[in-house]
Structure formats: structure tokens, C-alpha cells
Amino acid sequence: MKSKALVFARKSDFLILIVLFLTSILLCLIPYRNRGTRAQIILDQKIIAEIPLSQPEEALTLTAAPDYQFTVSDGKISIIAAPCRNQLCVHSGAAGSVGQRIICLPNRLMIVIVGNDDKAIPDAVL
């Protein structure tokens, strides 16, 4: 009498698992970056300026926020000078992807990167 062994997986099952594993690693390594088109500068919950990120490299000072200096280069914006004591907004670096923010809490200033509404990244996944 011939005994039948239980078969849990076949060679094709292992091949499918390897392909799925490699595909998931590739998807994790490719970052999804949606470049912003403009930066909204918000002071006391009011938009005081919208700066296009496509302009050539230049330093900016706004009349509504004269103590701040901004720089726009390579499609990103950053704060290069601020009146706050700890300078966290200056050291936070440049922002250029949709949804990124630079925030100066003591002075209630925020820079939000926005893009085209039809290409916006969702806030949550249900």
C-alpha cells in the first residue's frame, strides 16, 4: 500500500511568493513624491503670500513678515532667517513635496506646500 504524503506547497507556490516579495520591496524603495507647485505662507491663520516654486533661485523678504527671510531653489522653499529664539524653523530644512510644512510656533508662521488639486495626496486611507 502506497502512503500519501501531505503536500503543503508546490514549486510554483514558492515562485509566486518570491515574485510578490520582490515586488513589495521594490514598491517600498520607490518613494512617491508629488512635487508642489507653490508655497502658501500663513501668518496668524491668514494666507499672506503664495510663492511659485518654479521661479529661479532667489532670497525673499515679505512685507507682512519682515523679520523672516525665505529662499526658493530647486523647487523647494526654506527659511534662512527668523526672529524666534530656538531657530527650529531655520534648521528644519527645505520643503518641496505636497503636504510638507515648515512651522514657526512662537510667531505663528507656517509654510505649506500645495500643488494641483487633481494630483493631491490623500490624507488618510480607509
Confidence at residue 118, expressed as pLDDT on a 0 to 100 scale = 44
Distance from the first to the final alpha carbon of the chain:
55
Confidence at residue 91, expressed as pLDDT on a 0 to 100 scale = 92
The torsion of the CA quartet 90, 96, 100, 102, rounded to 10 degrees, works out to 20
Type of residue found at 10:
R
Strand arrangement, sheet containing 38-43? 46-52, 38-43, 109-114, 101-104
pLDDT higher than threshold 60 for residue 41:
yes
Share of the chain above pLDDT 70, in %: 83
Mean pLDDT (whole number) for 68-93: 90
Taking the model in full, what pTM does it have? 0.66
Confidence at residue 29, expressed as pLDDT on a 0 to 100 scale = 74
CATH 3.40.309.10, domain 38-119, yes or no: no
Q: What tens digit of pLDDT does each residue of 46-76 get?
A: 999 898 888 777 788 887 788 889 999 888 9
Name which of 4-18, 42-56, 69-83 the model is least confident about.
4-18
Got the DSSP string for 10-23?
-HHHHHHHHHHHHH
Q: How far, in Å, CA of 93 to CA of 78, rounded? A: 6
